[in-house]
Amino acid sequence: MAVNIYNKNKNEKIAPLLLIPLVENAFKHGDFKHPEFPLIIELLNFNNELSFIVENKKGQQQKDKLYGIGIANLKRRLELIYPNRYYFDIEESEKSYKAIIKIKW
């Protein structure tokens, strides 16, 4: 696992628990058995922008039959709290999953 934090704008704050669903999904659905595919968590805060990236290798376990609401709630919270000031994207391949959030200050 690699965690990288770079914080140049020390006075900026984000909504509580906003980033937790992405980390939770990485642990719930990720595969950490291969050292060449570590869980990567990056939090970068500079140039008036917060950037949060979570990347992991996909696990082989089946997804829940009931669709979770974590990502949908996250999208809704971003829209309510940071309208027109955020970017959210999920890059998914056969082997990996990468979620990106960017918030403009």
- 2-104 CATH: 3.30.565.10
> 78 to each of 20, 30, 34, how far by Cα in Å?
13, 24, 33
Coil, strand or helix: which one is 59?
coil
For 10-35, the pLDDT digits (tens) are 788 899 999 999 999 999 888 888 78
Q: What is the mean pLDDT of residues 52-64?
A: 82
Beta strands in 31-75 (DSSP E): 40-46, 49-57
Domain ranges in the chain are 2-104
Q: What is the pLDDT of residues 68-105, one digit of tens each?
A: 789 999 999 999 999 999 999 999 998 899 999 999 99
